Structure 1
Amino acid sequence: MTDIENVRRRWQDVNEHLGVPEDVSDRWWDIVQGLYGEPVRHYHTLQHLREMFQHCELAKDHFTFSSPHLVTLAVFFHDIIYEPKKPDNEERSADKFEEYAAETKVLSDGDIEKVKSWIMLTKSHSAGIGENSADEHYFLDMDMAVLGRPEADYDEYASQIRAEYIHVPEELYRSKRAQILEDFFTRLPLFSTRLFQKQFEDQAKTNLRREISRLRDNSIPL
């Protein structure tokens, strides 16, 4: 099964579970596939969703989601609007989810607000403090797990992000990207849940330090 087929199956399953008519589900799938397939995207594609759902399966082996269907919808809509030149992608993604919710009429107001709030959490990737065992903590860790990829796969991710921001001059990109990555080290641990900390934390720190070093010393062309 290809990435697109796998992700589409997830979409069909969650909409069937919610009772969304098939024609409405299909029309919204065309929207999802079209937006995630925009030419500007190199990392924030359906492959990213596929990877998040793989991490979701890892989480399900250790954790019972309170609202798995809402987590699935948050995955689908959290990057549905992605324009690297714009600062409000999360807000607009939450608005797009609200359009879907308004048309399908299968979610309560509380559930709609919950998914929108989770989408907005991806702006800072911080869900507060506490036990860090709620659905939103795992959702955020699923999105962040790319940082813990094996070295070569992480380097591919870093190259894809640069491709999405190719409009930014190299010197400025090096500075801003390094600042963003360095900020992660001001709020350790990188991951919210113990499961993802155990699985990805050490490798993620190694990857971040390596990329920061390359950005700061100009050791690789961008």
Structure 2
Amino acid sequence: MISPERLDAMQGQWVRLVAAFGVAPADAYPPFDRLVAAYTAPDRHYHTLEHLGEMFRVAGRLAAHTRDPLAVQLAIWFHDAVYDPRAKDSEARSAALAADELTALGVPPATVEAVQRLVTATAHLLGDAPPADPDAAVVIDADLAILGAADARYRRYAADVRREYAFVPDADYRTGRAAVLRRFLARPRIYHHDVLFEEGEARARENLTAELRELGT
């Protein structure tokens, strides 16, 4: 549950962000409200406004590596706007939603297209090679920063993801989740940027390995 103060701060952040494109506050509030409704839906446990806040903090630390900071910020807002654990196209649907909402606000097509590319990148299907787009590397690292979190935060994250997949039987969940964790562990490095690699790579691998043990697979 996000505090009213934090929600007000996020609203201000959103209004200032879209103001860069000439969007008046009165026009900025409706899409913000729709985003909040999406991220606070009752079936959301990890993919929430807290997750967005954590991503914004990481992206801020990587600002020097960012080519289009406005597109990065917009992509973070929209990257999990659609989150359906029963489907495999949430990122594509989130990108489409971003295009609809941002186009309606009058955001330039080039920015809209950049946001769509960045949102789609959070499907984490790029494999081992770092993305050619430096902004995609920032968004991906911000999205995966949770893997290198302290033990208590990582455990809460893992438990919240399980809650989002409550409809999946335990045995099936353990198998599917273990496959995801092993794919990350098989990468030469999880984080593209050196600052996250140095601070979180070892911890992320410890967290993933510990969760694998607990899954018993």
Question: Would you say same fold, with TM above 0.5?
Answer: yes
Partner of 1:78: 79
* Counterpart residue identity of residue 68, structure 2: S
Deviation at 1:130, TM superposition (A): 5.7
Partner of 2:49: 46
Q: How does 1:111-126 map to 2 (within 5 A)?
A: 111-124=111-124, 126=126
Paired with 2:57 and 2:208, the residues of 1 have a C-alpha distance of 22
Partner of 1:102: 103
The number of equivalent residue pairs is 214
Paired with 1:164 and 1:79, the residues of 2 have a C-alpha distance of 13
The sequence identity of aligned pairs, in percent, is: 29
* Counterpart residue identity of residue 14, structure 1: L
Partner of 1:182: 182
Do the aligned partners of 2:146 and 2:154 also contact (CA within 8 Å) in 1? yes
Q: How far does the alpha carbon of each residue in 1:145-204 deviate from its partner, in whole angstroms, 9 at most, with x for none?
A: 000000111000000000000000011101110011001122220111112111210100
Do the aligned partners of 1:154 and 1:207 also contact (CA within 8 Å) in 2? yes
Deviation at 1:125, TM superposition (A): 5.2
Partner of 1:59: 62
The runs of at least 4 consecutive aligned structure 1 residues that moved more than 6 Å come to none
- Tell me: CA distance 1:83–1:130, structure 2 relative to 1, closer, same or farther (3 Å): closer
Q: How far does the alpha carbon of each residue in 1:8-41 deviate from its partner, in whole angstroms, 9 at most, with x for none?
A: 2221110112211222201111111111110010
Aligned equivalent of 1:3, options 6, 20, 33: 6
Do the aligned partners of 1:175 and 1:216 also contact (CA within 8 Å) in 2? no
Deviation at 1:44, TM superposition (A): 0.4
Q: How does 1:154-169 map to 2 (within 5 A)?
A: 154-169=154-169
* Counterpart residue identity of residue 97, structure 1: A
Paired with 1:4 and 1:68, the residues of 2 have a C-alpha distance of 22
SS in 1 for 2:88: coil
* Counterpart residue identity of residue 82, structure 2: I
Do the aligned partners of 1:125 and 1:140 also contact (CA within 8 Å) in 2? no
* Counterpart residue identity of residue 201, structure 1: E
SS in 1 for 2:216: helix
Paired with 1:88 and 1:74, the residues of 2 have a C-alpha distance of 16
Paired with 1:110 and 1:194, the residues of 2 have a C-alpha distance of 29
- Which consecutive residues of structure 2, in runs of 5 or more, have no partner in the other structure? none
Structure 1-normalised TM-score? 0.90
Deviation at 1:143, TM superposition (A): 0.6
Deviation at 1:110, TM superposition (A): 2.4
Do the aligned partners of 2:103 and 2:112 also contact (CA within 8 Å) in 1? no
Partner of 2:35: 32
* Counterpart residue identity of residue 118, structure 1: L
* Counterpart residue identity of residue 122, structure 1: T
Structure 2-normalised TM-score? 0.92
- Tell me: CA distance 1:114–1:28, structure 2 relative to 1, closer, same or farther (3 Å): same
